[in-house]
């Protein structure tokens, strides 16, 4: 499907495609320059090619799989690749693949400031956005006018508003979790305007009253892979009522202060308005308050923490998440995976037991 989209965008609109490594990046810039972003979350399953062996087995499967995928020529349908400096591992992958072999087409980087929103970080982000924009302009052959940027910002605001509305009205959405995430994750590679159309179509199906009958669960973690996890959760009697996946909810910018007239300022504001994410060094207290608010709003009765093995940014927050919800009396299940193609038997058993526990919990639906 991704390759089909890349072909279609190229043939119909003359758009080039850029593969993008997780997690956060200024997609607005790519859209403004008519570049199709195609995200590369691994991809899941066993690594495709021997180059995975160039990264030690104690590194997360996202990085190992991505190197194998890029070096094995599986991403040759795209024209460039963007490495956001998400963590130590992607940072190293960016230099490994481009400097020591694995990727020969154009490569771009986006460097995040870490920690709190502060004036120095804002100035750095704006300069970094302008630097990236400059290299993407040269690559795409388009000039980034303020009008183009403003239009892209408006489009992405709409996309986020629709994604946020779907997640907020989750209980009234007549989709199971597998269908919901298939829809939301198409945004990782579809042209944003086309994705918006399908989001709006889904919004039109919202029922006036809740249709979800399972136990509401807050999910926080990295990426909903393997997708079978969702069906298992539903089968166990739960459903995702609130999402804090890095790949999904953590990238929906909900805070909407009046957008600045200057599109560069508006872009910087959007960057800092995103939900707290450990990969950007968010303050733990702020993040726990955010998760607690998500749980409260959605009426979640349990918390599923779904992390990837060896993923330090996520793993560091696990004790704080457990502690935050223990004090609220919400059960927490921590599942650790490796981007495997199928859900392990052990994970299935634990999810089922978790479902039973939640259904037995007071107030469970």
Partner 1 sequence: MLRRARYELAGRAAFPILTALEAWQHRLKRSRKQPGGGPFGPPLESVRRLKELMAHHYFQGRYADGAVPVAWVTSGFPVEVLRALGFHTVYPENHAALCGVQRLTPEYSDVAEAAGYSRDLCSYVRTDLGSVLSSKTPVGRLPRPQLLACCTNICQTVLYWYRELSRHLGVPLVLVDTPFVHGTASAHQLAYVKEQLEELCLVAGRVSGKPLDAERLVEVTRTAREGSRLWGECLAASRARPAPWTGIDGFFHIAPIVALRGTEACNGYYRLLRDELEDRVARGVGGLKEEKHRLLWDNLPVWFAVRRFSTLLAERGFNFVSTSYTDAWAEAGVGIDPDDPIGSAARTYTHVILNQDLPNRLDILRRLSRDYAVDGAILHSDRSCKPYSIGQVDLRERLAAELGIRVLLLEADHNDPRSWAAEPGENRLAAFMEGFE
Interface residue list for partner 1 (CB under 8 A): 53-56, 58-59, 63, 85, 87-89, 91-96, 99-101, 109, 111-116, 118-121, 123-124, 127-128, 131, 278, 281, 283-285, 309-310, 312-313, 315-320, 322-323, 336
CA distance 106 to 135: 10
Residue 133: both structure tokens together = 């924009």
Instruction: Find the shortest distance in angstroms from Cβ 218 to partner 1.
Output: 18
Place of tokens 């919800």: 325
Which one of partner 1, ligand SF4, none is in contact with 308 (Cβ closer than 5 to 8 A by kind)?
ligand SF4
Q: Which residue from 325, 344, 326 is spatially nearest to 335, judged by alpha carbons?
A: 344
Q: Which residue from 276, 288, 360 is spatially nearest to 328, judged by alpha carbons?
A: 288
> In terms of CB distance, is 184 or 339 closer to ligand SF4?
339
Binding-site size for ligand SF4 (CB under 6 A) equals 14
In 324-359, which positions are buried (b, 16+ CB within 10 angstroms) versus exposed (e)?
Answer: bbeeeebebbebbbbbeeebeeebbebbeebbebbb
Instruction: Find the shortest distance in angstroms from Cβ 11 to ligand SF4.
Output: 32
CA distance 146 to 362: 54
Q: What is the CA radius of gyration of the chain?
A: 20
Q: Does 308 bind ligand SF4 (CB under 6 A)?
A: yes
> In terms of CB distance, is 96 or 268 closer to partner 1?
96
Q: Does 96 bind ligand SF4 (CB under 6 A)?
A: no
Instruction: Find the shortest distance in angstroms from Cβ 2 to partner 1.
Output: 26
x/- binding map, residues 53-92, to ligand SF4, per CB under 6 A?
-------x-xx----------------------xx-xx--
Instruction: Find the shortest distance in angstroms from Cβ 317 to partner 1.
Output: 8
Q: Does 222 bind ligand SF4 (CB under 6 A)?
A: yes
Q: Does 109 bind ligand SF4 (CB under 6 A)?
A: no
């Amino acid at each position: 499907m991704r390759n089909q989209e890349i072909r279609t965008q190229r043939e119909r609109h003359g758009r080039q495609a850029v593969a993008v490594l997780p997690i956060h990046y200024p997609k607005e810039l790519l859209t403004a320059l008519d570049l199709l972003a195609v995200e590369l979350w691994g991809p899941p399953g066993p690594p495709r090619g021997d180059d995975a062996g160039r990264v030690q087995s104690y590194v997360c499967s996202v990085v190992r799989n991505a190197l194998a995928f890029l070096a094995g020529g599986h991403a040759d349908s795209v024209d460039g690749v963007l490495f956001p400096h998400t963590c130590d591992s992607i940072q190293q992958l960016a230099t490994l693949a481009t400097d020591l072999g694995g990727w020969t087409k154009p490569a771009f980087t986006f460097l995040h400031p870490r920690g709190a929103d502060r004036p120095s970080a804002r100035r750095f982000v704006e300069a970094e956005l302008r630097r990236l924009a400059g290299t993407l302009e040269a690559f795409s052959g388009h000039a980034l006018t303020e009008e183009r940027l403003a239009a892209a910002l408006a489009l992405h605001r709409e996309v986020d508003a629709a994604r946020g509305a779907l997640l907020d009205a989750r209980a009234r959405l007549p989709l199971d979790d597998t269908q919901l995430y298939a829809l939301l994750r198409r945004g990782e590679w579809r042209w944003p305007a086309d994705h918006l159309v399908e989001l709006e179509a889904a919004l039109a199906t919202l029922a006036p009253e809740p249709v979800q009958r399972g136990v509401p669960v807050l999910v926080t973690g990295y990426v909903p892979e393997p997708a079978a996890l969702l069906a298992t959760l539903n089968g166990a009697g739960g459903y995702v009522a609130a999402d804090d996946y890095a790949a999904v909810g953590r990238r929906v910018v909900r805070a909407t202060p009046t957008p600045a007239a200057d599109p560069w300022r508006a872009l910087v504001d959007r960057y800092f308005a995103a939900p707290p994410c450990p990969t950007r060094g968010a303050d733990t207290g702020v993040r726990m308050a955010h998760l607690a608010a998500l749980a409260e709003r959605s009426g979640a009765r349990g918390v599923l923490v779904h992390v990837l093995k060896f993923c330090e940014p996520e793993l560091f927050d696990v004790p704080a998440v457990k502690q935050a919800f223990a004090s609220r009396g919400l059960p927490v299940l921590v599942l650790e995976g490796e981007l495997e193609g199928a859900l392990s038997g052990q994970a299935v058993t634990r999810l089922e037991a978790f479902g039973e526990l939640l259904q037995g919990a007071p107030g469970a639906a």
